[in-house]
Structure 1
Amino acid sequence: MEVGLGKLWVGIDVGKETHWAFAMDSDGNRILSRRVANDEAAVSQLLADVTALEADEVTWAVDLTTVESALLLAILWDHQQRVMYLPGKAVNHAAAGYRSEGKTDAKDARIIADQARMRRDLAELRPTDELILELRLLTGRRTDLVCDRTRTINRLRQQLTAICPALERAADIAHQRGWVLLLSRYQRPKAIRRAGTARLISLLTSLGVREQTATTVASAAVAAAKTQTTRLPGEDVAAELAAELAKEVMRLDEQIAELDSAIEARFRRHRFAEVITSMPGIGFRLGAEFLAAAGDPGWFASADHLAAYAGLAPVPNDSGKRTGRLHRPQRYNRALRRVFYMSALTSIRCCPTSRAYYDRKRTEGKGAKGATIALARRRVNVLWALLRDNRTWEPTAATTAARAA
């Protein structure tokens, strides 16, 4: 191999079991191309081989930042290597400009290296703080559990329809814990009628449901059960499945509550926790999601930079005589956009300043969604300024902070 190279670019096509590494020089000539197992010894050997080339500057580029690349990135960062990120979608788009119609790991790695050599708009990956990584794992797990809960509730509703459609319509399973507790014990209309309102109220209150809520749930359940005396085919099996699904919802609720405690405990340890939650509409959950999505807030040089990363900075969509039109960018962090959008929705209800800004945008002709997005964009300015100055939000300073950003 040639010694004393100038600049070197190493593209890594990341895989679960193996990666493919392709190194090229400033002229695009292949220096190295080989498969690398996703284990410490193989990755360390690749790093040693690249280091032995004695290049003046080495830039690594990867197409994934998921768990498959965790070991690779950790080793590179431990050795102070510069790592760039080229999204997989960009690799696929660029592939059309390279010879060979076939897709191989070696070709993808070459494309990644070549794109890193030519492009100047790639984002640099930086080591993730341990606390932020923990929040990323915990919030990701919470999202999975919430999705599981939604699917389980949908299945439970399907089983209730097979037993008593009126009961399914009356049951507010997603928001009322009392309904889940009741359905874990009673599912058939006949059994609910026999139990009666008083017994059901007593049962629910003994399980920790407030008396007023227990009365509402029990009364609605008995009223729905009285509308149907016909026994549907398969009712017994459907009732057993409904009881099992109701208990599964209860288990998921317990797991989500435990995760919330773990998320809050870690989030409160972050140096910007008080600053972030001082913003109206952002509690510890959205705050944790913000840190998980954005990483270190200090990485963003300006509020515009943060807004662009969140997909809240529209880009031009001009063509021919059609000018002045804007649209959402294709490359942005969807989780971060969700944080600002959901916090804006919440702030409209709880913050007079946000409500006034939202109403002003509505009077200017924007729809509800457009006005909310405009508010979310403004909140990016405010939050970035607060993080920059390391101070908490104050109503009188909100407008000044937004303008200063």
Structure 2
Amino acid sequence: MGRNTLIYCGIDWAERHHDVALVDDTGQLLAKHRTSDDADGYRVLLDLLAEYGDSEADPIPVAIETSRGLLVAVLRTGKRKVIAVNPMAAARYRDRHGVSRKKSDPGDALVLAHILRTDMAIHRPLPDDTDLARAIAVLARAQQDATWNRQQLANQLRSLLREYYPAALEAFSTWQNGLCRPEARELLKVAPTSTQAARLTRAQLRSARKRAGRTRGIDAESERLREIFRGDYAHHPILVEEALGKQMLALLQQLDAACAATDSLAKAVEEVFPQHPDAEIIRSFPGLGLQLGARVLAEIGDDRKRFADARGLKAYAGSAPITRSSGKKHYVGRRMVKNDRLNHAGYLWAFAAINACQGAGAHYRRRRAHGDWHAQAQRHLFNRMLGQLYHCLQNNSLFEEHLAFPSSLAVAA
């Protein structure tokens, strides 16, 4: 049939099947169908849309409660608008259609279709990013998750070592990244208990550090470790200590795998990110290297029409404050609903920029003198630099410090 009226599609997705509902601009239900989550089901879905006038030139918009997966990839082909509706927002819309609080998958699909019919203008479609930007997003997010997982395992290992092996924590306290370093993990494999560590010879310590890839300062560091391991510490009974050592080795295996995964994904990001046209602009900003720059690109994408202005990007990142005003009450505070990944990257970006850029450092110190505490001043700096990044990306220009922080540089001079 032809497209004489506007038609909207809502899809309630699940692990094994998906419920589809089509409504017209008057709210009448035109069709409902349940498709399987496989290639045949996707073809049936596309045939159903085509039956009601879907075409490459005039595709039917689709609302769904996820932004990932093969189903979304199939729907995003061509110029079709795919709107990812937050499940919490969809639940609020469900109350508009009935007060009995009943819920079903076909009913949820119908609610999603009605969301597009009534409020499509206020919901943002998925950005039209390039395939390269999407690939970078996959790798950057995976690397970020692997880094968080590695740190979580390192914290668990540290907590366990505090219970029975304080000598190890003292020995590794001066090393950057501590328990995540290869030599720390190698030493724990050789001596999983403090009793075994006290028996290590200089030759064994040197061999362990060499196996971990160290080539400089081996003798001096081995002597320092030997003195620490032979110090006076409290001990559990031998059987308990050996049991704790076996528990530690099991946790250490997980940490080894997490470190290997993190390093592998970091290498993949470093290979792919420089290929993107926006990489040069992003890396021109102080504090943004390969890994952090890739995380920023992964979250903002390369669709120039995604954000109407810099304020939209700042709100998305959570760096812009939010105002709540009612009558005589007026409150300005930090934004809680945001892209957590971009916000986390912004914290690291601002922290690095303070020392990497004279103007950024002066701006941070001025905010501190104004009364902001550390996190507030960093968030304010991130907010400003994010606006500058938006300007540079829109105008295809590199970061220039004398233009970005003219007053800050004058004060610093």
TM-score range, shorter chain: 0.7 to 0.9
Cα distance in 2, alignment partners of residues 45 and 368 from structure 1: 55
Match of 1:149 in 2: 150
Q: Aligned partner of 2:322: which letter?
A: V
Bigger shift: 143-152 or 97-106?
143-152
Q: Deviations over 1:367-402 (max 9, x none)?
A: 1111111100000111112212222222222237x9
Cα gap change, 1:35/1:331 in structure 2, threshold over 3 Å: closer, same or farther?
A: farther
Cα gap change, 1:334/1:231 in structure 2, threshold over 3 Å: closer, same or farther?
A: closer
Structure 1 contact 205–211 (Cα < 8 Å) conserved: no
Cα distance in 2, alignment partners of residues 297 and 212 from structure 1: 50
Match of 1:334 in 2: 340
Cα distance in 1, alignment partners of residues 154 and 337 from structure 2: 33
Counterpart selection for 1:240 from 225, 236, 246: 246
Match of 2:411 in 1: none
Bigger shift: 284-293 or 177-186?
177-186
Structure 1 contact 16–38 (Cα < 8 Å) conserved: yes
Structure 1 contact 164–225 (Cα < 8 Å) conserved: no
Cα gap change, 1:345/1:297 in structure 2, threshold over 3 Å: closer, same or farther?
A: farther
Match of 2:293 in 1: 287
1:158 Cα deviation from its structure 2 partner: 4.4
Structure 1 contact 167–221 (Cα < 8 Å) conserved: no
Match of 2:381 in 1: 375
Counterpart selection for 1:314 from 309, 321, 324: 321
Match of 2:274 in 1: 268
Counterpart selection for 1:366 from 372, 380, 393: 372
Structure 2 gap ranges (5+): 409-413
Cα gap change, 1:16/1:225 in structure 2, threshold over 3 Å: closer, same or farther?
A: farther
Structure 1 contact 297–387 (Cα < 8 Å) conserved: no
Structure 1 contact 340–379 (Cα < 8 Å) conserved: no
1:110 aligns with 2:116: no
Structure 1 contact 282–343 (Cα < 8 Å) conserved: yes
Structure 1 gap ranges (5+): none
Cα distance in 2, alignment partners of residues 59 and 247 from structure 1: 48
Q: Deviations over 1:334-357 (max 9, x none)?
A: 212222222011111222111100
Cα distance in 1, alignment partners of residues 49 and 355 from structure 2: 56
Cα gap change, 1:330/1:242 in structure 2, threshold over 3 Å: closer, same or farther?
A: closer
Bigger shift: 208-217 or 191-200?
208-217
Bigger shift: 49-58 or 282-291?
49-58
Match of 1:30 in 2: 29
> Where do residues 386-405 of structure 1 align in structure 2 (5 Å cutoff)?
386-399=392-405
Cα distance in 1, alignment partners of residues 146 and 246 from structure 2: 23
> Where do residues 222-261 of structure 1 align in structure 2 (5 Å cutoff)?
222-228=227-233, 230-232=235-237, 233-261=239-267
Match of 1:130 in 2: 131
Match of 1:73 in 2: 72
Q: Deviations over 1:116-144 (max 9, x none)?
A: 11112100124442222222222232233
Q: Deviations over 1:216-240 (max 9, x none)?
A: 4762564254213645342223223
Bigger shift: 201-210 or 263-272?
201-210
Cα distance in 1, alignment partners of residues 398 and 370 from structure 2: 30
Q: Aligned partner of 1:61: which letter?
A: A
Cα distance in 1, alignment partners of residues 364 and 72 from structure 2: 42
Cα gap change, 1:17/1:392 in structure 2, threshold over 3 Å: closer, same or farther?
A: same
Match of 2:86 in 1: 87
Cα distance in 1, alignment partners of residues 84 and 161 from structure 2: 48
Where 1:195 maps in the other structure, the secondary structure is coil
1:273 Cα deviation from its structure 2 partner: 0.8
RMSD: 2.8
Q: How many residues align?
A: 397
Q: Aligned partner of 2:19: which letter?
A: W
1:270 Cα deviation from its structure 2 partner: 0.3
Q: Deviations over 1:174-222 (max 9, x none)?
A: 3544322211211222322222456424541453225447744762564
Match of 2:8 in 1: 9
Q: Aligned partner of 2:329: which letter?
A: R
Structure 1 contact 192–225 (Cα < 8 Å) conserved: yes
